[in-house]
Each structure stands twice: as C-alpha cells, then as structure tokens.
Amino acid sequence: MKLEGRLFREPGERPLPAEMLASLPRQRGRPRSEYRPKVRSEADVRRLRRHRVPAVLLTAEWVSRSGYPVAFRPWLVVPERLSDQLASEYRVLPVKDEEALREPGVVELVTWLLRFDPLAARVVASRNRAHLDPHELYRRVRNEGVERPATKIRLQQFAPAIPRVGEPLPASELRWIERNNPAEGVAA
C-alpha cells in the first residue's frame, strides 16, 4: 500500500500560474487532468509559499551566512508527502516535520544539514549557539530520525536530551574542523 499526497486548490483560492504547472498523463477512468507544480527557481519557491505549499530552498548562501562557508547545489526542502508531487530541477530533501517549513531558522538548518553534511551542521550549531533552543533542536532531531548523524558530530553538547546512537567522532577532530573553517558573517 502506498500513501500519496496531492495538491488541491481550496474554493476561492487563486490557481498557480500556468507556467509553473506540468500536466500529468490522464489516468484511465479519471475525469480530469492532474498537474504537478514545476519548481525551477527561487521565485517559484516563493510563489509556492504564497499559495501555502510548504517548501523551502536550502542554499549554500544560507549556510555561509550562518557561519560555514560552503558551496553545493541547492536542495528543495518539502514534506515527505509532497516530495513526489513536484517536478523540480533541484534535488529534493523530504522532511517528516511539515511544521519546520513554516519559518525555518538555525535549528531547522542544522537538522536538515545532518542529512547530507553533518560536519557543516556541527559548525553551524557551534557558531550560532546563542540562537539554538536545545528543546527545539531535540524535537527536530527526533522527528526527523537523524539521531545517528547527530551523535556522530556530538550534537548532544547543544541539546543534551538527544539520544546517543552509534559512535561519535573524536572531540579533537571536531575541534580541528571548527578551527580550520573560517567564519564569514555569523547571522542566521
């Protein structure tokens, strides 16, 4: 059995612009055509958010502004239930906690980075320690199920309640990584 998510327009709501919609082939016995939103740019992501579709573009600039200069192709962060409902040129990062997409901050950034660059998550967390809420970080890590990478980079130093799963990296290696990555403006 497979659970699918669909996007529906509520009565009185404006439709997405036609250039953002990709037509899906009509299925047998289905009376109307289905469409899949196309996401090709940051403007498309903003347009989706205006139409209350939870989506965030995770960019290298955002991570660099948070204190870890890095370069990578952007990720489109969307809820798991919508991850296969969007046609996107970006890599898709599905998340379980849809609430995290409303107003993402440093805690959400650290949690998402744990999925593909845990060392960046560690550096961002240490350089933005004043903005980290340990209870919220614990909740996000548990909701996303990323306790193993959190343990690997010793994220328990920022949120002690995170359960330890697996073996952490030596503290000396983590200190070396933090020292040898110069901070560019630390502001989330």
Q: Tell me: the pLDDT tens digits for 79-113?
A: 998 888 888 889 999 999 889 999 999 999 999 99
Q: Quick one: DSSP state of residue 57?
A: E
95 φ, ψ (degrees, to nearest 5): -125, 150
Please state the pTM of the whole predicted model. Answer: 0.77
The pLDDT mean for the chain works out to 85
Number of neighbouring beta carbons within 10 Å of residue 14: 8
155 pLDDT tier (thresholds 50, 70, 90): very high
Q: Which two tokens stand for residue 8?
A: 């529906």
- Interval 26-75: pLDDT, tens: 666 665 666 778 899 999 999 988 888 899 999 999 999 998 888 999 99
> What's the confidence (pLDDT) of residue 8?
62
C-beta separation of 128 from 188 below 8 A = yes
Query: What is the C-alpha to C-alpha distance for residues 177 and 156, in angstroms, rounded to an integer?
Result: 17
Cβ-contact 186, 67 below 8 angstroms: yes
pLDDT at 143 over 60: yes
Q: How would DSSP label each residue in 80-100? A: GGGTTS-EESSEEEEES-GGG
